[in-house]
Amino acid sequence: MNNAQKKVGFMTLGCKVNTYDSEALMEIFEADGYTIVDFTELADVYVINTCTVTHLGDQKSRKMIRKAKRINPDAIICAVGCYVQVAPDEVEKITEVDLMIGTKNRADILSYIEAHRKDASRRDFVSNIMDEEIFEPLMISEVKGKTRAFIKIQEGCNQFCSYCIVPFARGPVRSRDQQQIIDEVNRVVSIGYQEVILSGIHIASYGVDQAGAAADQGDLIDLIEVLDQIPGLKRIRLGSMEPKFITPERLKRLAALESFCPHFHLSLQSGSDTVLKRMGRRYTTTEYLEIVSQIRAVFPLAAITTDVMVGFPGETEQEFSETIDFANAVGFYQIHVFKYSRRSGTKAATFADQIDETIKNFRSHRLSEVSKELEQAFLKKNDGLVAEVLFEATQDTTGYEGHTKNYLPVRLKTDEKINGRILKVRVSYNSRYTNKLIGDSI
């Protein structure tokens, strides 16, 4: 096949970590002479980076695999990622799949494709992720079409919460080599990016797999302090965090860093202590609220965002009411509300008192309404402040949208080209705009 004719299309489902992994795979294909095309276009290879966090993720993964084969029946269809890792027998039954790779050895995808071309019967390259001890060196050298760069710093999770399939899909915690992270951040800064988001499956665990070893690289805060020294890097933002990682000492160290963005996504899952216990979460609501208080003592206008699951097995009306009350007590900026999805292989899948879908839908809608109210209240708290905003792509012919350091969206009307720039603006709350602030030049 002539290099000029080689085309690959990607479909990425699920989380930001999957997005990072796909971008790293795209670079591998490009280095081999492939052109990246839209997933809906004719290609020689299609890569579906699957998700399995919920049953809907499984469904969409299957749907996209079949769609790719319809677009080009002669293409090689590669299913990779979490769904493939945890349910290889299911994926094996999808006749449209030509090649299966889990969450390990993805960097070898080109050699697997060649192996399949030579022997079409060989399609399963899924290996045991639970024995993996080393971070797979997938990395990016550029960021496509964004203002901020996601930097993956670790893989895997050791928590094994009763509802969660992720540890089985991603394996144990593996921290990325610190120098690799520094090199990647330097690369994205050199091409103009001013903000990075440190992401992973469980970033609070960064370094725990290396503690006491000769190559001990310290914890997440140590890493942030090192990255803060990189010239040209204006902002460091964190992905989802385990609440109990936060301590007064760590907050004090973060406050000393000019680049740190006071936006904390602290995973909650439930505002009921009895539900948290059944989930296998390792904190109480009292501890969580104290952590939020510690954050606000250091960063008064920190944006606190979270994930909350409704309809966990056995969740009573009283327990759901406790979650509503707790959300109001914390005063979150935003809540990502999602319904419990029964995942085969997890403890919660065997629990009695599985909740009816109608009840889950009602609770999801109710909590989403609370989230909207809290979002408006937090936006109002920022009314009239002067903030630094990193502006992104234009939204229409006259306006730009960007984000403050605490991740509030700000819209500024201007004829000037300001995408990719950080500007000081005065922000104001306007009830006509339900999810953003309005900026005025100063």
Structure tokens at 105: 């050895």
Q: What is the pLDDT of residue 133?
A: 66
Q: What is the pLDDT of residue 214?
A: 43
State how far the alpha carbon of 48 is from the alpha carbons of 40, 153, 237, 249, 287, in Å. 12, 23, 28, 43, 40
Angle 89-94-98 from CA coordinates, rounded to 5°: 95
Residue that the structure tokens 């805060």 belong to: 221
Q: How large is the greatest C-alpha to C-alpha distance in the chain, in angstroms? A: 65
| Residue (of 216, 78, 104, 213) closest to 156 by Cα position | 104
One digit per residue, the tens of pLDDT, for the chain of length 442 reads 555 579 999 999 988 889 889 999 999 999 999 999 999 999 999 999 999 988 889 999 999 999 999 999 999 999 999 999 999 999 999 999 999 998 888 889 999 998 888 877 657 777 776 666 666 666 666 655 567 889 999 999 999 999 999 999 999 999 999 999 999 999 999 988 999 999 999 999 999 988 654 455 789 999 999 999 999 999 999 999 999 999 999 999 999 999 999 999 999 999 999 999 999 999 999 999 999 999 999 999 999 999 999 999 999 999 999 999 999 999 999 999 999 999 999 999 999 999 999 999 999 999 999 999 999 999 999 999 999 999 987 666 668 999 999 999 999 988 888 888 999 999 999 988 888 999 998 8
Beta bridge partners of 305: 265, 334
Structure tokens at 320: 């759901």
Amino acid, single-letter form, for residue 137 = P
Torsion sign, CA atoms 63, 68, 70, 76: negative
Q: What is the pLDDT of residue 260?
A: 98
Q: What is the pLDDT of residue 203?
A: 95
Structure tokens at 430: 């306007």
CA pair distance 281, 439, nearest whole angstrom: 40
Q: What is the pLDDT of residue 75?
A: 94
Structure tokens at 257: 């860093």
CA pair distance 375, 266, nearest whole angstrom: 16
CA pair distance 239, 220, nearest whole angstrom: 11
Give the other-Cβ count within 10 Å of 75's Cβ.
Answer: 19
CA pair distance 184, 237, nearest whole angstrom: 15
Q: How far apart are the first and last CA of the chain?
A: 57
Q: What is the pLDDT of residue 142?
A: 60
CA pair distance 334, 144, nearest whole angstrom: 27
